[in-house]
Amino acid sequence: MLENKVIVVGICGGIAAFKSAALVSQLTQAGAEVHVMMTESATKFVTPLTFQAVSRNHVYIDTFDEPDAGKITHIDLADRADLIFLAPASANTIAKLAHGMADNMLTTTVLATKAPVVLAPAMNVNMFDHPSVQANLARLVTYGYEVIEPDAGFLACGWTGKGRMPEVPQLLEYIQMHATPNTALANKRVVVTAGPTREAIDPVRYLSNDSSGKMGYALAREARNRGAHVTLISGPTVEAIPVGVEVVSVKTSADMYEAVLARYDDADVVVKSAAVSDYRPMHVYEQKRKKKADDDWTLALAPTADILRTLGEEKHAQLLVGFAAESEQVERHAREKLARKNLDIIVANDITAEGAGFDVDTNIVSIYTKDDHCHHYEKQTKAEVARHVFDEVEAYEKRCARP
């Protein structure tokens, strides 16, 4: 998604500058054209040579360093940038930008650009909380800049509190969100369900499944990258919360049913990738049931509400996408489910195939549509599969001329 994007990464003075080397490296590996600008203070923490090596481009520090006589470098990069990302952003640079000061390569470029500008402040907790810093950040927001809230934790200065720059994977999500062009999904309301549900047996036992939520979280990130307003309704999972996505946490199938139905009328697209329990115990013990010698235990189970079928029955203008995790006759079961539950699209996979089951980072899927289109995809990462799913969604909407 970042292939050939021009991203200017600004490095300010602060210990968090060491994280930015990994960030620049990953952006370069993702195919972006990365140009690093450093303040003089930043060079005291990490050498320019480090960033030159990982970006494979000249590192800019001095405004008057013009390697190409045919260009004014800071204007050229300000014009070509798809995104300017300051990580870490120091209190000093924040103050300069808030008051229009352009006294170094970085501030001069930022003030000259029309590209989105994102700042990741990193500093001592008391400095971050100071009224002048907060006022400067608020002013930058009114200018249209985005400010990433720092994380809380142990700081290099010895204090504990808010001031840590987020880790590289989270920073990459912000960059993907801003550097990816909007598509036909822009400003659409997309609901994605993810993860397993848990049906209590007693206070310590429950029925569930092996779903990790990885596929659903990848789908939420992809929809967000395409400009959609995304709500992710998630069962219990250890997956990191996606940046820029509303997350609703649920536990049981009944919780998920209520959460999805409450948002269904306002949704444009619903992607139902959660592995919802099909059954729940008819009786839930208030206390832990003790194990007894030679004591068989039979659980009476009742079916849970069929969320996908209900959505299909109540559908009016929404585009509804379901998932079919099958262990045999995958195409037959998927096509039957597509028709039976009144879906527009179904994504099917064989959970017995290597690299396609639960709790792995890859998937092997076939996508079937209501208007009888079908595409089969080889093993790919779940992020790549998510792109295929939303490509199919956009293609289906175009074919059916949906609003």
Contact 46, 18 (CB under 8 A): yes
- Taking residue 291's Cβ as centre, other Cβ atoms within 10 Å add up to 7
For residue 122, give both structure tokens.
């990193």
What span, in angstroms and rounded, lies between the C-alpha atoms of 387 and 215? 11
What span, in angstroms and rounded, lies between the C-alpha atoms of 124 and 152? 11
Write down the residue that tokens 């800071």 correspond to: 74
Clarify whether 157 is annotated catalytic: yes
Does residue 370 have a known ligand-binding role?
no
For residue 314, give both structure tokens.
């109540």
Does residue 337 have a known ligand-binding role?
yes
For residue 288, give both structure tokens.
């832990």
What interhelical angle do 105-112 and 91-98 show, nearest 10?
Answer: 40
Name residues whose C-beta falls within 8 Å of residue 312's C-beta, 6 or more positions apart in sequence: 320, 341, 342, 343
Does residue 114 have a known ligand-binding role?
no
Does residue 19 have a known ligand-binding role?
no
Given 12, 157, 374, 400, the catalytic residue: 157
- Taking residue 281's Cβ as centre, other Cβ atoms within 10 Å add up to 17
Q: Which amino acid is at 90?
A: S
Contact 94, 133 (CB under 8 A): yes
What span, in angstroms and rounded, lies between the C-alpha atoms of 110 and 35? 13
Does residue 278 have a known ligand-binding role?
yes
Q: Where are the alpha helices (DSSP H) in 10-86?
A: 17-29, 48-55, 73-80
What span, in angstroms and rounded, lies between the C-alpha atoms of 350 and 352? 5
Contact 51, 128 (CB under 8 A): no
- The catalytic site residues sit at 157
What residues form the annotated binding site for CTP? 278, 288, 323, 337, 341
Give the annotated binding-site residues: 278, 288, 323, 337, 341
